Amino acid sequence: MNKGNGTIVIMGVLVVFVIGGLLLFFGERDGIVATNSGYVEKFESALTKEAIARVGQPIEGFDASLLKQAFPTLVDADFAYVETAGGVYMFENEKLRYERKQLESVTSAEQMITSAGYAKLLENVGERLAFVVTDASIDTVIEAVLGTPKAPISATPPVLGGEESIIYGTSAPAEGTAAWQSDCTERGGTFNTCGRSCPPGTEICAAVCGFTCDFMPAITDE
């Protein structure tokens, strides 16, 4: 091999190393590391366990609405391209929507987030928080998502006479619901053990019973 060919080979090897390094660097930034099965399993397990404690165990698994209800730290954009049992969540024009697979039939579990969906959710959250998901940062990302649970009782009473309600939660606390019932009575509402568990105006909502205090419009005789 002549000197010229040797130089070409050495240059080729250097180019391969440089390209490999760049792919590794930008791959981590783009969330490739976040899809590591170990990280995803830990992320999914932590979220589902805490979500069950906060909002109860859904029959069909967790969808975007229930996860946002359990974790106020999550935003709509976090669910962009998150896969579900029957489709995928899309975030377009600052709005989250669900897109069903064309060949899939409608089922009650179609919006349940899959393991692949949790991988994408982890990737999105990591990017939003400017974290490269690694062994050292996965716990920090999880803690950022878990945050602090919402207070069980609203500090601001709704306008009486309006079609509004207070949502206390979807599972009863260990001490029972006496405090919720008392709070509802003081506010002049009706305590409901199977009310709507999603806030008014929620477009994507799972059919899960909630403990609510309902305020119905006053009925007047004409």
Average pLDDT, the chain: 75
What sections of the chain are H helices per DSSP?
3-29, 37-55, 64-70, 115-128, 138-146, 178-187
**pLDDT at site 202:** 62
- Using alpha carbons only, what angle is made at residue 102 by residues 96 and 103, rounded to the nearest 5 degrees? 140
Q: Is 20 left (phi over 0), alpha (psi -120 to 50) or beta?
A: alpha
**pLDDT at site 171:** 74
| Confidence label for 84 from pLDDT (cuts 50, 70 and 90) | very high
The pLDDT tens digits for 195-222 are 877 766 666 666 677 788 887 654 444 4
| 74, pLDDT greater than 60 | yes
**pLDDT at site 167:** 78
Q: What span, in angstroms and rounded, lies between the C-alpha atoms of 161 and 55?
A: 27
Q: How far is CA 90 from the centre of its chain?
A: 13
Bridge partners of 44?
none
Assigned token pair, 176: 């029972």
Q: What span, in angstroms and rounded, lies between the C-alpha atoms of 46 and 67?
A: 12
192, burial (CB in 10 Å: exposed 0-12, middle 13-18, buried 19+): middle
The pLDDT tens digits for 92-131 are 999 999 998 876 667 778 899 999 999 999 999 989 888 8
Q: What span, in angstroms and rounded, lies between the C-alpha atoms of 171 and 50?
A: 13
Strand pairing category for 190-196 and 95-100:
unpaired
Bridge partners of 97?
90
Percent of the chain with pLDDT over 70: 67
| 50, pLDDT greater than 70 | yes
